[in-house]
Amino acid sequence: MKPGASISRRIEVLREASYQAVPSLSIERAKIITECYKKNEGKYPTPILRALCFKELCLNQTLYIGKGELIVGERGPRPKAVSTYPELTCHSVEDLRILNSRERQRYMVSEEDIATYEREVIPFWKERTQRDRIFSILPDDWKRLYSSGLFTEFAEQRAPGHTALDGKIYKTGMHGFRERIAMALKKLERKNSSSAQERKNMLQAMDIACEALILFAGRHASLAMTMAADSRDRGDIAGAEELESIASVCRRVPANPPETFREALQMYWFVHLGTIMELNGWDAMNPGHLDQHLEPFYLKDTSSGILTDATARELMACLFIKVNNHPAPPKVGVTARESGTYNDFTNINMGGIRPDGTDAVSPVSFLMLETLEELHLLQPGFSVHIASLTPDRFLRESCRVIARGYGYPSVFNPDIYVKQLIRQGKSPEDAREGGCSGCIEVGAFGKEAYLLTGYLNLAKILEITLNNGTDPVSGETVSVKTGDAAGFRSFHELYGAFLKQLKYVIDTKIRVNHRIERLCAEWMPAPFLSLLIDDCIEKGTDYYNGGPRYNTSYIQCTGLGSAADSLSALRKHVFEDRKWTMENVLDALSCNFEGYEPMRLFIVNRTPFFGNDDDLADDLAVRLYEDLFSLIDGKPNTRGGVFHMDMLSTTCHVYFGAVTGALPNGRKAGRPLSDGTSPSQGADANGPTAVVRSLGKLDQVKSGGTLLNQRFSPSMMKTEEDRKKLASLIRGYFDMGGHHIQFNVVDTETLRKAQKEPELYRDLLVRVAGYSDYFNHLAPSLQEDIIGRTENDGI
């Protein structure tokens, strides 16, 4: 069977298998790593030990080549078999049993494997995992804030990652990297200082990692040849030829630069696998501007006649299915609560601009859109990048796919993120080669380690301000004393106290983060990952230790809308209208508004809230945003870079909401906070243009990304005309300096929830008949009708 000869059938089968595969745990990696540490620890410097472990994995992991696959390689022995990383966090027997039995995000693991883990893995890592090291240095003041849910810490059980690639792997294979390593070593030849020795060790480790990945690919080639021989014996000549072609691809890449479209995809996939086998960095791995990287191969192969659009789509689908085969490594504790998803956040950038500043949309961009539309799997995530110079045709095609309601592609504005990156100190070329990875965070692809350090709970900071440094949920004093809120005479006084709390929490987080960064650099160097990011090789320095050209630390601020709305409510009703005293409101909050429903509803219905293009509330959001910027931006980290603020929440607004009591904006205890820079749930009642105008008031160039979720009914995007208007909405937001927008095209389930809790869904627009209205405003009978109609739409 030639590639492309039966695209739908092949992809249908592979897609279905990937979709149906049940996530499970594989303890193979843990066993190999534990053995390697037992054998080699203490004999080698840490980077070399880590490289040797990587090599052992490449040499000994069970390989998998599935029937019909054109792109091969798995992290585990089969699709969705997820490795563990005991050197970072060693799951206990109890953890494993929970993973095996919990209702959501379950990972199957056999009792036999649990027993092996208990016998061979757990004892070795007792009190010596990275998590143990980190927890041993955490001071009490930090722990108090952390336990109360004022912030989270990314490094406590996963390696920092947030890496996206530029185009270098397609121009130079592992052999090319080895040449660069040899040159760097040569420069160090006659130097004998301890720092030169460290660099030599690091370079040697990187060299071992190059060799290891080549061996890994070679094993795939051999396996494919063995399988091909079997097929031939069975008389399946076509099958045998297909396997032989896999073998020949795996012999070329990743050792050498790819020559064909297919080799380019396989090249990326081996590199992706190498990264996620080495460590479990957040956001797995991101290919960056994949359409730009593939474009030269597409042009060459289509003009020489060895590639058609159908085969190009099929090959890309094979890669995307591979990404879907890799759920996120299982988390524990707080991290499981704040990020409860199988998604490992690989985000593929499409469109946008080229490093020279010209339009990057190519035929590959369109083919990729078609492919993701056809696949619509959980992973990878896709984003379209719409600069002012991006052709309308690409935006319109993107809107058509958005209207399908899969939740992607999300939409980014390169004009703004290039400015963000330049403001942070990147060169224009490096900035333009940058983009967005994971959720919305910006980085200079292939040249930067932009590590997310954890989320910051703005609503909780207001809560402890209102309680003089005490967490009312636990009753413990967790922060500094800033005065009894009942005694605040003015909004100015309240805001001043809030700022003091904010500063204390941020400073505590940054101070401890410095020590955590050092632990990552010292104990968990990543020689393979370091190959991929300039200038780790030239500096002979690790990815986690300042090796990259740019080294950013982000703090992700969550709950801007909740905090701004709460401040707005206090300002209006307590300090301006004097409808209630501060004491009245504090009483209501301490009772979670029980017995205070009229007050709660009055606040909900009669307070200026962020997201309505009402300066009264928007100015507070702007003020909060500017204060966050001045408290975070530019603080040094230990890697030669600085901290910046990022405005994303992923799913952390749900966890933060769960640990935050009732808020002055009328939100009850335990309910989710606002997400990203979106308005609070249901607070925006003036439609999407008002929302984006509110967001447009934030100077988004100062952040490392903002996030705006908008919920639309499918009927608002039904016709070509509707989607043109959606495209204009996006363009308008981006004209105002918006960074990102994404659309939830609602399903029936959401509409049902909206019926039960209308207050949270006030912003839900639906098309009725000849006009549009808020779902919430409709009579129950009409709501039923719309729900029925949505299903009939078949979206």
Partner 1 sequence: MGIQGCFFDIKRYAIHDGPGIRISVFFKGCPLSCRWCHNPESQDPVPQVMFDPLRCIGCGACRGHTIPDLCPSTALEVCGWKMDTGQIMQIVLKERLFFERSGGGVTFTGGEPLMQPEILAELLEACRGNGIHTALDSSLWAPAHIVKKIIPLTGLVLADIKVMDPAKHKYYTGVDNALIHSNLMAVARSGVPFALRIPLVRGINDSGRETEDLIAFALRLRDAGNLTCIHLLPFHPYGKNKASGLISGKIPASGDFSAPAAHAVDSLLIKMLSMGFNVVKGG
Q: Interface with partner 1 by CB under 8 A: which residues?
A: 597-602, 605-606, 613, 686-690, 693, 716, 721-722, 724-725, 728-729, 731-732, 735-736, 765, 767-772, 778-779, 781-782, 785
> Which residue lies nearer to partner 1 by CB, 410 or 713?
713
Q: Minimum distance from CB of 562 to partner 1 (Å)?
A: 20
Question: Beta strands 448-457 and 550-558: pairing type?
Answer: parallel
Bridge partners (DSSP) of residue 349 are: 383
The Cα 556–Cα 340 span in angstroms is 17
As a whole number of Å, the end-to-end CA separation of the chain is 34
User: What is d(CA 766, CA 772) in angstroms, rounded to the nearest whole number?
Assistant: 6
Work out how close the CB of 691 gets to partner 1 at its nearest, in angstroms, rounded to a whole number.
9
Task: Provide the minimum distance between the beta carbon of 327 and partner 1 in the complex, in angstroms, as a whole number.
Answer: 38
Nearer to partner 1, 219 or 731 (CB): 731
How far is the C-alpha of 271 from the C-alpha of 213, rounded, in Å?
8
Q: Which is nearer to partner 1, 90 or 717 (CB)?
A: 717
Q: 66, 89, 61, 91: which is closest to 77 by C-alpha?
A: 61
Listed in sequence order, the residues at least 6 apart from 22 whose beta carbon sits closer than 8 Å to its beta carbon are 80, 108
* 623 vs 718 by CB, closer to partner 1: 718
Task: Please report where in the chains the tokens 């301890």 appear, as a residue.
Answer: 194
**What is the smallest separation between the CB atom of 677 and partner 1, expressed in angstroms?**
19
Q: Please, what is the minimum distance in Å from the beta carbon of residue 751 to partner 1?
A: 16
Q: How many CA atoms lie within 13 Å of 576's alpha carbon, on the beta-carbon side?
A: 10
Q: Is 241 designated active site?
A: no
- Per the CB < 8 A criterion, the answer to whether 687 and 765 are in contact is yes
* Cβ nearer to partner 1, comparing 156 with 613: 613
Residue in the block written with tokens 């051999």 = 222
CB nearer to partner 1: pick between 497 and 692: 692
Dihedral angle sign, alpha carbons of residues 526, 528, 533, 537: positive
Buried b (16+ CB within 10 A) or exposed e, 28-66: bbbbbbbbbbeeeeeeebbbbbbbbbbbbbbeebeebbb
Structure tokens that stand for 547 in this block: 């090796």
Provide the β-strand partners of residue 384: 350, 411
Closest CA to 392 of 742, 731, 734: 731
Smallest gap from residue 232 Cβ to partner 1 (A): 60
Nearer to partner 1, 294 or 717 (CB): 717
Nearest in space to 384 (alpha carbons), one of 358, 402, 363, 371: 402
β-pair type (347-351, 470-471): unpaired
Nearer to partner 1, 194 or 771 (CB): 771
Q: Could you tell me if 713 and 765 are in contact, meaning their C-beta atoms sit under 8 angstroms apart?
A: yes
**In the complex with partner 1, which residue's Cβ is closer, 581 or 689?**
689
Q: How far is the CB of 778 from partner 1 (least distance, A)?
A: 7
- Min CB(730)–partner 1 separation in Å: 9
Minimum separation from the CB atom of position 516 to partner 1 (A): 44
Give the pair of three-digit tokens for residue 697: 């008031």
Helical residues (DSSP H) of 633-687, grouped into ranges: 652-658
Which residue's CB is nearer to partner 1, number 530 or number 776? 776
The number of CA neighbours under 13 Å toward the Cβ of 80 is 20
Q: Which of 706, 645, 646, 711 is nearest to 677 (CA)?
A: 706
The pairing of beta strand 381-385 with beta strand 435-437: unpaired
Instruction: Compare residues 702 and 723 and give the one whose CB is closer to partner 1.
Output: 723
What distances in angstroms separate CA 547 from CA 419, 449, 553, one per listed residue? 24, 9, 14
Instruction: Supply 717's token pair.
Output: 């995007």
The dihedral through the CA atoms of 188, 193, 196, 202 has a sign that is positive
Whether 90 sits among the annotated catalytic residues: the reply is: no
C-alpha closest to that of 95 among 345, 453, 335, 455: 335
Torsion of CA 573, 574, 579, 585, to 10 degrees: 100
In the complex, least distance from residue 784 CB atom to partner 1, rounded to whole angstroms? 11
Euclidean distance between CA atoms 63 and 312, whole angstroms: 25
Helix 560-569 to helix 458-466 angle (10° resolution) is: 30
Q: How far is the CB of 579 from partner 1 (least distance, A)?
A: 10
Q: How far apart are CA 195 and CA 651, in angstroms?
A: 41
Choosing from 441, 448, 463, 517, the catalytic residue is: 441
**DSSP-derived 3-state class of residue 710:** strand
Nearest approach, Cβ of residue 688 and partner 1 (Å): 5
> Closest distance between partner 1 and the C-beta of residue 735, in Å?
6
DSSP string for 489-511:
-SHHHHHHHHHHHHHHHHHHHHH
DSSP conformation letters of 363-417: HHHHHHHHHHHHH--SSSEEEEE--TTS-HHHHHHHHHHHTTTSS--EEE-HHHH
Q: How many Å apart are CA 430 and CA 151, to the nearest integer?
A: 31
DSSP structural state of residue 667: P
Do 520 and 505 form a contact (C-beta atoms < 8 A)?
no
Catalytic pick among 439, 520, 536, 652: 439
Residues with catalytic function: 439, 441
